[in-house]
Structure 1
Amino acid sequence: MEKTPGESPKFTSHQIIIITILALLQFTVILDFMVISPLGDILMKTLDMTTANFGFAVSAYAFSAGISGLLAAGFADKFDRKKLLIFFYTGFIIGTVFCALSTSYMTLLLARIVTGLFGGVIGSVSLAIVTDLFVIHQRGRVMGFIQMAYATSQILGIPIGLYCANNWGWHSSFLMIAGLGVLILIAIITQMQAINKHLELQLDKSPFLHLWHTLSNKQYQIGFASIAFLSIGGFMLQPFGSAFLVNNIHISQLELPMVFFFTGLSVLFIMPLVGKLSDKVSKFKLFASGSILSIVMILIYTNLNPIPLWEIVVINMILFMGIMSRMIPATTLNTAIPAMKDRGAYMSISSSLQQIAGGIGAVFAGYIVHQKTKSAPLENYDILGYVIAVITLLSIFLIWRVNQLVKSKEAAAKELEL
């Protein structure tokens, strides 16, 4: 529901339930994508994949997610958002089960495509729900809580996933995610109310006409570009993280869960703080500060030689604090761009471009980084860091443009009130 913007309104009990469900849902979706990275070294060795093959395995999810998001964008504002969420989350769970049943590179690739077709739409539907049910002065805190799913997946999900993989095979990691997904699906069905107020505002009868009107809006295009560039760096850095730690830094497979646990712990600490700051201070300045910290830490990280475990943990913690300090203000600013009648389509297109851009990033990373043998150090990882630094600088400029649009929109809304 739309409300007149106020000073950080308190959440209702139903809003708290919605935040909890969306956070848990995001936990499984993020974990499904992120667990590929720490399993990367195991998967490349078990399924006999090259770095380029693994880049395609990661990007397969992203490309299919992007395509499905674009196809669904025209329909995103034509249905009850709860029903859309149930449909796509069910497909995501089925796709994750297929991943668990994979026995070769090709079957894993196909399973990731199926999972991406459904999983790629979930994030945009969730964002549309947040934008419908929470006013702009609440969204920073909401996004802070929901983005904590990222940290929780690092603290609990990835270490547990790695523990399962080390003890019962990598397939068990995906079975764990699917099992948790079933429980969350039940919660969505039983606890979430219908979200259909946007249906009263529809002007375009054709879903494709609605998609075209959203795509051709020049203000929306700036938001699309900013989110796409924001995702490229993460997709380039993450897929080869575990292989870099194992083969270059000489961290053992048994020590990997500790690295991800403490990294997630730092993110869990910073997310609520960034969420609160995002509702009180300049979102762009917060984003720019996190970006500069990210650039510095990425350049340090990608040029590392073998160091003690505690040092790599500290560097990872600071690096991801910088990365996640960018995500909340950027996502919050992006939700303020579309009109209510376009939110579902806008979020779907934005999520799709994010996935497609990330998929391109993962493919390029797979070609930049080389590995002569399955246990040899990764080569050109430092070059990857320099490329990510340049992309991060470009994202600062684009988010500045988004910030200017949001300021203009808020000023126009105040004039109408007067």
Structure 2
Amino acid sequence: MEKTIGDSPAFTSRQKIIIAILALLQFTVILDFMVISPLGDILMKTMNMTTANFGFAVSAYAFSAGISGLMAAGFADKFDRKKLLIFFYTGFIIGTVFCALSTSYTMLLMARIVTGLFGGVIGSVSLAIVTDLFVIHQRGRVMGFIQMAFATSQILGIPVGLYFANNWGWHSAFIMITVLGVLILIGIITQMEPIIKHLEVQSDKSPFLHLWHTLSNKRYQVGFASIAFLSVGGFMLQPFGSAFLVNNIHISQLELPMVFFFTGLSVLFIMPLVGKLSDKISKFKLFAAGSILSIIMILIYTNLNPIPLWEIVVINMILFMGIMSRMIPATTLNTAIPGLEDRGAYMSISSSLQQIAGGIAAVCAGFIVHQKTKTSPIENYDILGYVIAVITLCTVFLIWRVNQLVKSKDTEAKEVTI
């Protein structure tokens, strides 16, 4: 039985191990996706890619992840979550190996599709595990720690990946992720217990019927829409971030790791704070505040002219503080919507729609921005900022709807227990 509102139980030793494993897992998955952005300028120049080509390379992962997530959704609550995690993480590692071996744009595109087919399901399985093993008043802190994987990938992963790329070629960045992935996979196999409690409450025998019942649930549809919109801004802004910094702001390839390092450092400090706040104050108010800060900083960032390195670092730090302040409360609220019997399917569908929406956003961004030559400034980046600002406002409304649904669910649960 879950604790009462306002009570935040301490973590057990076993729970701490699970949090560490999931955080490290997310670190590699996030790094695999995010390292494409700082490598973007190198990849576009070495493989003769246009901005539209690069948009497709980014979105290939997202589309395949979304499709695989939908296909897996009906089966997500039918198996031990540990076994699902091992299966999909193994496939993700294999896909990353193919990325490292790519020698052309077409090969890289295919490798990103394979990686997405497996990597896209990992996040939803992880969220289902969090929801199964932690009560609602622990999840904010859990998500805070797991989302620190984003910051750690910025502080350690991306700078090290860029260092590898600058010294041994861009392929070496994916080799680094592969080695880390194998070590984490061993940790999952040896340290995580089977997670099968959800198997006791299954009602739909057919996986496809289970998928349909989850998709057709009116409450769930609000959550699906909110999470899909939440990902659009990041997918639009990040893919061309390094190309914008190099060609518009005149930051050198050697200075890029500094930008990502200090940005990630700021996020590393803000994540635990946001996680704790989301367990103590209104998650929606925290999300709304983060959204306002994000809109302001995105409009400033996308309209920048050449400025000193320290100024771009400060702007990036504040921007990502706003972005991360949205992710934790929104994700935590979303985990409270589904019932135990639907959690795996719900998280899979949410992740799929998030990836598909993000893939569409990356393709759209590739057509909105333009670069005349390999060294020309990125054009129309300011228009991208205005589009993201409008989408962010729409997301605030959708998360408000989710918040209302969670409140009504809590009220119904209390009435049942009385």
Residues 354-387 of structure 1 show CA distances to partners (whole Å, capped at 9, x for unaligned) of 0000000000000000000000000000000000
- Whether the aligned pair in 2 keeps the contact of 1:5 and 1:135 (CA below 8 Å) is no
- Whether the aligned pair in 1 keeps the contact of 2:263 and 2:317 (CA below 8 Å) is yes
User: Which residue number corresponds to residue 50 of structure 2?
Assistant: 50
Partner amino acid for 1:23? A
User: Which residue number corresponds to residue 379 of structure 1?
Assistant: 379
Once the two structures are superposed, the pairs formed by residues 10-409 of structure 1 within 5 Å of their partners are: 10-409=10-409
Partner amino acid for 1:146? I
Give the distance between the partners of 1:381 and 1:390, measured in 2 at CA: 15
Partner amino acid for 2:339? A
Give the distance between the partners of 1:201 and 1:258, measured in 2 at CA: 50
Instruction: Note the C-alpha offset of 1:417.
Output: 1.8
Partner amino acid for 1:114? V
Q: Secondary structure at the match of 1:279?
A: helix
- Whether the aligned pair in 2 keeps the contact of 1:5 and 1:136 (CA below 8 Å) is no
Q: Give the 3 Å change call, closer, same or farther, for CA 340–131 of structure 1 in structure 2.
A: same
Give the distance between the partners of 1:144 and 1:41, measured in 2 at CA: 31
Give the distance between the partners of 1:266 and 1:395, measured in 2 at CA: 24
Give the distance between the partners of 2:12 and 2:268, measured in 1 at CA: 23
Residues 301-354 of structure 1 show CA distances to partners (whole Å, capped at 9, x for unaligned) of 000000000000000000000000000000000000000000000000000000
Partner amino acid for 2:33? F
Give the distance between the partners of 1:75 and 1:60, measured in 2 at CA: 23
- Whether the aligned pair in 1 keeps the contact of 2:2 and 2:136 (CA below 8 Å) is no
Q: TM-score, normalised by structure 1?
A: 0.99
Partner amino acid for 2:321? M
Instruction: Note the C-alpha offset of 1:3.
Output: 3.5
Give the distance between the partners of 1:222 and 1:417, measured in 2 at CA: 26
Give the distance between the partners of 2:150 and 2:141, measured in 1 at CA: 15
Give the distance between the partners of 2:135 and 2:344, measured in 1 at CA: 16
Give the distance between the partners of 1:321 and 1:303, measured in 2 at CA: 19
Give the distance between the partners of 1:345 and 1:5, measured in 2 at CA: 27
- Whether the aligned pair in 2 keeps the contact of 1:267 and 1:317 (CA below 8 Å) is yes
The CA RMSD over aligned residues, in Å, is 0.6
Partner amino acid for 1:157? G
Percent identity over the alignment?
87
- Whether the aligned pair in 1 keeps the contact of 2:148 and 2:267 (CA below 8 Å) is yes
- Whether the aligned pair in 1 keeps the contact of 2:3 and 2:137 (CA below 8 Å) is no
Give the distance between the partners of 2:376 and 2:72, measured in 1 at CA: 43
Residues 12-65 of structure 1 show CA distances to partners (whole Å, capped at 9, x for unaligned) of 110000000000000000000000000000000001100000000000000000
Is 1:3–2:24 an aligned residue pair? no
Instruction: Note the C-alpha offset of 1:136.
Output: 0.1
Instruction: Note the C-alpha offset of 1:275.
Output: 0.1
Give the distance between the partners of 1:345 and 1:151, measured in 2 at CA: 28
- Whether the aligned pair in 2 keeps the contact of 1:77 and 1:342 (CA below 8 Å) is yes
Give the distance between the partners of 2:318 and 2:409, measured in 1 at CA: 35
Q: TM-score, normalised by structure 2?
A: 0.99
Give the distance between the partners of 1:413 and 1:78, measured in 2 at CA: 25
**Number of equivalences:** 417
Give the distance between the partners of 2:25 and 2:98, measured in 1 at CA: 19
Instruction: Note the C-alpha offset of 1:5.
Output: 4.2
Instruction: Note the C-alpha offset of 1:413.
Output: 1.0
Is 1:412–2:416 an aligned residue pair? no
Give the distance between the partners of 2:111 and 2:4, measured in 1 at CA: 44
Give the distance between the partners of 1:73 and 1:179, measured in 2 at CA: 29
Partner amino acid for 2:409? K
Give the distance between the partners of 1:184 and 1:219, measured in 2 at CA: 36
Give the distance between the partners of 2:206 and 2:48, measured in 1 at CA: 47
Partner amino acid for 1:339? G
Give the distance between the partners of 1:390 and 1:36, measured in 2 at CA: 26
Moved over 4 A (4+): none
Give the distance between the partners of 1:284 and 1:79, measured in 2 at CA: 33
Partner amino acid for 1:174? F
Give the distance between the partners of 1:173 and 1:251, measured in 2 at CA: 21
- Whether the aligned pair in 1 keeps the contact of 2:294 and 2:319 (CA below 8 Å) is yes
Partner amino acid for 2:2? K
Instruction: Note the C-alpha offset of 1:4.
Output: 4.2
Residues 129-182 of structure 1 show CA distances to partners (whole Å, capped at 9, x for unaligned) of 000000000000000000000000000000000000000000000000000000
Give the distance between the partners of 2:311 and 2:124, measured in 1 at CA: 37
Partner amino acid for 1:56? F
Residues 235-265 of structure 1 show CA distances to partners (whole Å, capped at 9, x for unaligned) of 0000000000000000000000000000000
Give the distance between the partners of 1:241 and 1:13, measured in 2 at CA: 40
Partner amino acid for 2:120? G
Instruction: Note the C-alpha offset of 1:390.
Output: 0.2
Q: Secondary structure at the match of 1:373?
A: coil
Give the distance between the partners of 2:85 and 2:35, measured in 1 at CA: 22
Give the distance between the partners of 1:246 and 1:140, measured in 2 at CA: 36
Can you give the 5+ residue segments of structure 2 that lack an aligned partner in the other structure?
none
